[in-house]
Amino acid sequence: MDRSTRRIQPVVTGIDAHLAGIEWNGEQAGFSNGAFLVRTDHEAPNYRLVAVDPNRPQPEHWRTVIPEQDDVFLGHTTIEDRYYVTYLRNISTKIRVFEKDGTPAGEIDVPEHFTASIRNAPGDNTAYLTLRSFTTPSTEYLINLETGDREISEPAKITFATDDYTVRQVWYTSKDGTQVPMHVVHRNDIELTGDHPTLLYGYGGFTSAMRPGFSTFAVVWLERGGVYAVANIRGGNEFGERWHRDGMLENKQNVFDDFIAAAEWLIDAGYTNPERLALRGGSNGGLLVAAALTQRPELYRAMLCAFPDLDMVRFYQFTETNNMPALLEYGDASDPEQFEFLRRHSPYQNVRRGTRYPAVMLTSGDLDTRVPPLQARKMTARLQWASRSGLPVILRYDAKSGHAAGRGRPMSLAIEDNAMELAFLIMQTGGGR
């Protein structure tokens, strides 16, 4: 066929579901001419692997290769004629092995509270296994798939005293009674005196799960004696599509309730207090921390809010960016019913003059095509006008940065950004040794 006559042909349309990890398989599940392998949550909130015949792509003709399980199916790779499937179980990675017909064939050992990935390696019965956690920098191993023996093939690029720190997973109760998990990381010798500088991080949206990972920003905070917490609030896919849908559109307030409950738990458990507690979030996470700020300002001392969505009432009018698909997640205020729930939680509309707001550092860039940067500018001005705490409200604005400023910028500027943000948090929470 001449290239000029080729066109993109949709394979599956008209279903309310995610389809991802699509690959072509020469022969699969009885399709002699081949099939697409697709990871989907259609009729499977925790996802399953299906084979799709391009000649009959309708869901009623799909054939399940690996059925839905209690754990969340994140992805798969083919090694040595077997499927190696990555699952998320209570925020820890599991890697299970399946024959091509979907028969279980074992599991790769992964430590608790770790994120893992696996890929092909040269040679027979070998693969590369990458592990990382909150206290373990990313490390690659060459693993023997028959014996399970492994040796480091690419050591971590960062030296860190992993054994000096504790990673603990806790479960706390949100406003509506939902049990929500959170990882809490700190030095081994910490005492619950209620006055530790504590940084709480979250995201809560767009099916993005907050899995264990090594953050140099968090490590500096930990080395100075701080507590670092990551809440696995609704809106992500930590527990599949149901967890996501419980945190989108009219259910978005659940996300903010989950995050606020995490802050309350850290205080009640004796880790910190409102004068030592700080929040950090970016993009959709910027919306998260700003909503927590406007709804419960007395709970926190400081907030880092990066590249944020803030004016949810006018969000549908911000046509200068490519973020219109986010209306499917947030809602569209041009719809009267959706306007009501957006107005109730939109941070910009809920800033109240005379309130004692925490110290705030907002970040944005003039070239952000994902989130309209005018939102950060407007929110800074409104908070400066409204707050009566006497604490600073700062806007860090870069005329040459886009969404998530670290991308495409020199390492020196990324280091400078982190240094300024850490200095701000340390000054406000009295943290550091």
262: closest CA among 304, 351, 202?
202
**Would you name the residues annotated as active-site residues?**
283, 403
Contact present, 173 and 252 (Cβ < 8 Å): no
- The pLDDT assigned to 335 comes to 96
Per-residue pLDDT tens digits for 243-287: 999 999 999 999 999 999 999 999 999 999 999 999 999 999 999
In this structure, what are the phi and psi dihedrals at residue 156, rounded to the nearest 5 degrees?
Answer: -60, 145
What does DSSP say about strands 227-231 and 198-201: parallel, antiparallel, or unpaired? Answer: parallel
Strand order from edge to edge, sheet including 393-398: 165-173, 179-187, 227-231, 198-201, 277-282, 302-306, 359-365, 393-398
CA-only gyration radius of the chain, Å: 23
What does DSSP say about strands 302-306 and 359-365: parallel, antiparallel, or unpaired? Answer: parallel
DSSP labels, 101-138: TS-EEEEE---TT-EEEEEE-SSTTEEEEEEE-SSS--
Query: How far is it, in rounded angstroms, from Cα 412 to Cα 427?
Result: 22
- Write down the domain spans for the chain: 16-154, 162-429
Query: How far is it, in rounded angstroms, from Cα 46 to Cα 262?
Result: 25
Q: Is the dihedral of CA 340, 345, 350, 355 positive or negative?
A: positive
- The pLDDT assigned to 1 comes to 46
Per-residue pLDDT tens digits for 141-173: 999 999 999 999 999 999 999 999 999 999 999
**Assigned CATH for 162-429:** 3.40.50.1820
pTM for this model (two decimals): 0.95
3-state SS of 256-313 is HHHHHHHHHHHHHCCCCCCCCEEEEEECHHHHHHHHHHHHCHHHCCEEEEECCCCCCC
- The pLDDT assigned to 309 comes to 95
Q: Which stretches of 283-387 are assigned E, i.e. beta strand?
A: 302-306, 359-365
List of the chain residues with pLDDT < 70: 1-6, 26-30, 321-322, 404-409, 431-433
**Assigned CATH for 16-154:** 2.130.10.120
- The pLDDT assigned to 4 comes to 59
Q: Is the dihedral of CA 352, 356, 358, 359 positive or negative?
A: positive
Contact present, 133 and 212 (Cβ < 8 Å): yes
Q: Is the dihedral of CA 56, 57, 58, 64 positive or negative?
A: positive
